[in-house]
C-alpha cells in the first residue's frame, strides 16, 4: 500500500496534471483544497453541485498518488462512457461490472495487479464478493472514491442498500484515503452519510449549491404539452434536453407528441426492455440535439455537459430530487434552463400518493415535509434561487435570473375567495356528508347548472354562484394554493376529493389572512438559435457550428459521445479565439496534451476554413 505523496511537491504536481491531462489552467472553488487533502492521505466528504467539477477531485489525486484510484459507482450503464472520456485524455482507466464476460474481467484484473491502471470503476455490489476484496489486496490502491454518496442515506432520494457496506473500506484498508462525493445533501443527509461511511474524522467540503448559469422557471399548467413545445421551439431548438414525467405512460405519450412535432425525442423508463433503454441512452449521449423524455430512473451520473434544458411536466416529490434533476442542465457552465409546469392536479395526486404510501406514520410525515418544501418553492413570491439555496442551508440574495426576478408575481389578499371555497366544502361535507373534487366545487362557485349539479341539488346551496369575481383558471389557482398551504386537504378515498383541515377553521372564522400568488403574464419569446450559439458574437456563430459538425463526425467514427471529443465550452473558446497555431490552440481551456496531439491539426484546418 502506498503512503502519501510529499505535501511540499503535491500542489504543483496536481496543477501540472490538471493542465497537461485535462487542459485547464486553474482549479475552481474548493477543488485545490480537496485534491490536496486526498493527495496527502486524508479523507474528504465533498458536497458540490452537479457541474461543479467533483470528478477531478478524485481523478487528479489518483494520477498524482502511486497506485490505482478505485471508484465505487452505482452507474453500471455509464461506466463505459466514463472510461472512454478518461481514455480520450490519456488516462488509463477500466471498470469491472456484470456487463463483462470472463475474458474481459480477467484482462482488467491483470492490468490492475500489474499497476497499469490509473482508475478502476467498481459497482458497490461487487464489494460483497470476497474475490473483489482479494483482488484489490493484490494491487496498489491510491484512494477510494465513493461517488453518488447520498445513495447511502435513507433520507436521500436514491437510497441504495449496497452502499451500507462501504464502511468496510476503512476497516479493511485503513491507510487508504477515502473521498465521498455527492451533488446534493441537506443537513440531515449530510449527517447520515458521515455516520454510515464512518467519515467523522474526514474534512468536510460544502461548496455553494448555486448554479448561476441555470435559469429557474415554474409555470402554472395550461396545456402543458403545448407549453413544453413552445419552450423547445422558441428557446432550445436543436438543443439537447431532458423532460421528466411522473409515470411511464406520460413518458411514452410525451415522447410521441414531440416526435410528431418534428423533434428528436426518445423515451426512457423502467418498463422498457433493457436493450431499448441502453440504445436510447446511448443515442442521447452520442448525438447532438436529442431530447430524452424519462422518469427519474434516468439521469443519475449522466456526464453530458451540453444538456441545455431540463423540463418537468409533473411536480417532483422533493426539493432535493428537483435540484439533482435540474442540475443535469448546463454542466459546462453555459446558459441553460430549468423549467417546470405545475398545476392543481399535481398537488392532489402527490397528497393522495403520500396517504396511500406504504410505511409508518413517520415515513408519511417525512414525505409530506418534502412535498411541502417543494410546494413552497413553486408558490413563492420571492426569488426562486434564494428559496432553493435556503433549503440547503445557504443564504443568498435575489439572483435576477429566475422567473420571479425577471417577471415578479403579485401577491393578493385571497381571504374572501378562500372563505367562499371552504364554505362550499363545509356545506357539502358537514351538511350533506358529501365530498367532491376541485372541478365540482368550482362549478358550484361559478353557478354552472350542469346535469351533475342539478341532479345533486347543489344549485340550491348558499354558495352557488357567489364566485363570479374569478374565472375558472383563477379558481383552480386558489384551490392549488390552499392545498399547498395546508388550508385544504385531499381525502384518502383515492378519488381526489377535497376536505377541510385543522387549519381551515382559522380562515373560516376570519382569524387567518390568506395571501395568494397571482400568476404573472408570460412574456412572448422569440425563436432563437441554441442557447450557446445565441451567447456568442454573431461573427463567431458560423465557426462554432462548423466545429460542432466536425466534432459530430469524429464522434461517429469513434462511436463515442460527442462531448468526449470536446465539450461545447471548449468549441466556444476556439470559435472566439480563432487560433492559428498549435501553441495558441493549447491555450484554449479544455485542450489537454493528448487531445492536442490527436485533433490539433484537424481543428486548425476547420478554423482556417471557417472564417
**Domains in the chain, start-ordered, CATH in brackets?**
10-206 (3.40.50.300), 214-409 (3.40.50.300), 411-518 (1.10.10.10), 536-610 (1.10.150.80)
Question: How are strands ordered across the β-sheet holding 307-312?
Answer: 214-220, 336-342, 307-312, 240-244, 291-294, 265-268
Mean pLDDT value across residues 262-285: 92
Q: Does residue 28 carry a pLDDT above 50? A: yes
Distance CA 384, CA 320 (A): 14
Whole-Å CA distances, 202 to 1, 37, 130, 147, 176: 20, 9, 27, 16, 13
Q: What DSSP string runs through 350-403?
A: HHHHHHH-SS-HHHHHHHHHHHHHHHHHHH-SS-HHHHHHHHTT------S-SH
Q: What share of the chain is helix, strand, coil (3-state, %, to 5)?
A: 50, 15, 40
> What is the grid cell recorded at 333?
457552465
> What is the grid cell recorded at 77?
450503464
Q: What integer best gives the mean pLDDT of the chain?
A: 88
10 Å Cβ neighbour count for 524? Answer: 7
Distance CA 125, CA 99 (A): 13
Answer for the pair 242, 328: CB distance below 8 angstroms, yes or no. Answer: yes
pLDDT above 70 as % of the chain = 93
pLDDT digits (tens, 9 = 90+) for 131-152: 999 999 999 999 999 988 888 8
pLDDT digits (tens, 9 = 90+) for 57-96: 999 999 999 999 999 988 777 788 889 989 999 999 999 9
pLDDT digits (tens, 9 = 90+) for 157-194: 566 777 777 888 888 999 999 999 988 777 888 888 89
pLDDT digits (tens, 9 = 90+) for 354-399: 877 777 788 888 888 888 899 999 988 899 999 999 988 888 999 9
> What is the grid cell recorded at 498?
377535497
HSE (CB half, 13 Å, CA atoms) of 497? 14
Q: What DSSP string runs through 12-75?
A: HHHHHHIIIII--SS--TTHHHHHHHHHTT--EEEE--TTS-HHHHHHHHHHHSSSEEEEE-S-
Q: Does residue 114 carry a pLDDT above 90? A: yes
Answer for the pair 24, 46: CB distance below 8 angstroms, yes or no. Answer: no
pLDDT attached to residue 578:
94
Nearest to 564, CA basis, from 294, 288, 265, 182:
288
Answer for the pair 488, 495: CB distance below 8 angstroms, yes or no. Answer: no
Radius of gyration of the chain (CA): 27
489-490 and 498-499: which strand pairing? antiparallel
pLDDT digits (tens, 9 = 90+) for 412-433: 999 999 999 999 999 998 777 8
Distance CA 202, CA 210 (A): 24
Amino acid at each position: 500500500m502506498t503512503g502519501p505523496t510529499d505535501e511540499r511537491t503535491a500542489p504543483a504536481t496536481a496543477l501540472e496534471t490538471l493542465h497537461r491531462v485535462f487542459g485547464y489552467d486553474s482549479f475552481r472553488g474548493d477543488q485545490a483544497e480537496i485534491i490536496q487533502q486526498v493527495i496527502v492521505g486524508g479523507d474528504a466528504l465533498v458536497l458540490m453541485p452537479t457541474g461543479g467539477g467533483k470528478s477531478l477531485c478524485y481523478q487528479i489525486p489518483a494520477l498524482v498518488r502511486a497506485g490505482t484510484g478505485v471508484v465505487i459507482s452505482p452507474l453500471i450503464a455509464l461506466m463505459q462512457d466514463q472510461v472512454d472520456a478518461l481514455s480520450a485524455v490519456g488516462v488509463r482507466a477500466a471498470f469491472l461490472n456484470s456487463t463483462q464476460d470472463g475474458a474481459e474481467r480477467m484482462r482488467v484484473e491483470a492490468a490492475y495487479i500489474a499497476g497499469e491502471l490509473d482508475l478502476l470503476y467498481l459497482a458497490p455490489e461487487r464489494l460483497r464478493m470476497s474475490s473483489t476484496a482479494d483482488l484489490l489486496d493484490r494491487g496498489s490502491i491510491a484512494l477510494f472514491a465513493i461517488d453518488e454518496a447520498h445513495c447511502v442515506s435513507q433520507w436521500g432520494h436514491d437510497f441504495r442498500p449496497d452502499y451500507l457496506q462501504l464502511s468496510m473500506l476503512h476497516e479493511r484498508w485503513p491507510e487508504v484515503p477515502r473521498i465521498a462525493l455527492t451533488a446534493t445533501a441537506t443537513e440531515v443527509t449530510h449527517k447520515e452519510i458521515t455516520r454510515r461511511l464512518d467519515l467523522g474524522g474526514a474534512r468536510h467540503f460544502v461548496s455553494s449549491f448555486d448554479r448561476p448559469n441555470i435559469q429557474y422557471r415554474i409555470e402554472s399548467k395550461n396545456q402543458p404539452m403545448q407549453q413544453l413545445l413552445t419552450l423547445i421551439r422558441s428557446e432550445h431548438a436543436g438543443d439537447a434536453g431532458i423532460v421528466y414525467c411522473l409515470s411511464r405512460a406520460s413518458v411514452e405519450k410525451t415522447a410521441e407528441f414531440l416526435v410528431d412535432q418534428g423533434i428528436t425525442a426518445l423515451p426512457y423508463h423502467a418498463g422498457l426492455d433493457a436493450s431499448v433503454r441502453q440504445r436510447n441512452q446511448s443515442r442521447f449521449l452520442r448525438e447532438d440535439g436529442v431530447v430524452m423524455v424519462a422518469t427519474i430512473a434516468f439521469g443519475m451520473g449522466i456526464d453530458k455537459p451540453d444538456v441545455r434544458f431540463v423540463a418537468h411536466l409533473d411536480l417532483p416529490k422533493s426539493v432535493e430530487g428537483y435540484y439533482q434533476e435540474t442540475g443535469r442542465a448546463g454542466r459546462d457552465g453555459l446558459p441553460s434552463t430549468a423549467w417546470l409546469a405545475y398545476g392543481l392536479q399535481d398537488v392532489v395526486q402527490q397528497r393522495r400518493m403520500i396517504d396511500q404510501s406504504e410505511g409508518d406514520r413517520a415515513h408519511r410525515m417525512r414525505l409530506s415535509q418534502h412535498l411541502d418544501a417543494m410546494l413552497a418553492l413553486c408558490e413563492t413570491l420571492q426569488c426562486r434561487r434564494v428559496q432553493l439555496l435556503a433549503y440547503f442551508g445557504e443564504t443568498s440574495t435575489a439572483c435576477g435570473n429566475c422567473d420571479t426576478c425577471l417577471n415578479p408575481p403579485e401577491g393578493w389578499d385571497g381571504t374572501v375567495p378562500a372563505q367562499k371555497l371552504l364554505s362550499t366544502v363545509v356545506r357539502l361535507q358537514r351538511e350533506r356528508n358529501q365530498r367532491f373534487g376541485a372541478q365540482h366545487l368550482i362549478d358550484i362557485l361559478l353557478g354552472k347548472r350542469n346535469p351533475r349539479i342539478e341532479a345533486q341539488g347543489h344549485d340550491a346551496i348558499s354558495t352557488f354562484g357567489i364566485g363570479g369575481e374569478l374565472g375558472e383558471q383563477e379558481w383552480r389557482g386558489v384551490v392549488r394554493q390552499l392545498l399547498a398551504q395546508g388550508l385544504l386537504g385531499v381525502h384518502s378515498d383515492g378519488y381526489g376529493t377535497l376536505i377541510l383541515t385543522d387549519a381551515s377553521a382559522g380562515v373560516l372564522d376570519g382569524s387567518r389572512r390568506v395571501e395568494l400568488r397571482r400568476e404573472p403574464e408570460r412574456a412572448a419569446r422569440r425563436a432563437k438559435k441554441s442557447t450557446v450559439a445565441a451567447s456568442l458574437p454573431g461573427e463567431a456563430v458560423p465557426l462554432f457550428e462548423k466545429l460542432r459538425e466536425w466534432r459530430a463526425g469524429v464522434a461517429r467514427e469513434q462511436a463515442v459521445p460527442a462531448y468526449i471529443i470536446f465539450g461545447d465550452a471548449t468549441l466556444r473558446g476556439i470559435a472566439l479565439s480563432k487560433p492559428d497555431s498549435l501553441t495558441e490552440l493549447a491555450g484554449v481551456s479544455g485542450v489537454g496534451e493528448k487531445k492536442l496531439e490527436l485533433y490539433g491539426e484537424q481543428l486548425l484546418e476547420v478554423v482556417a476554413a471557417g472564417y
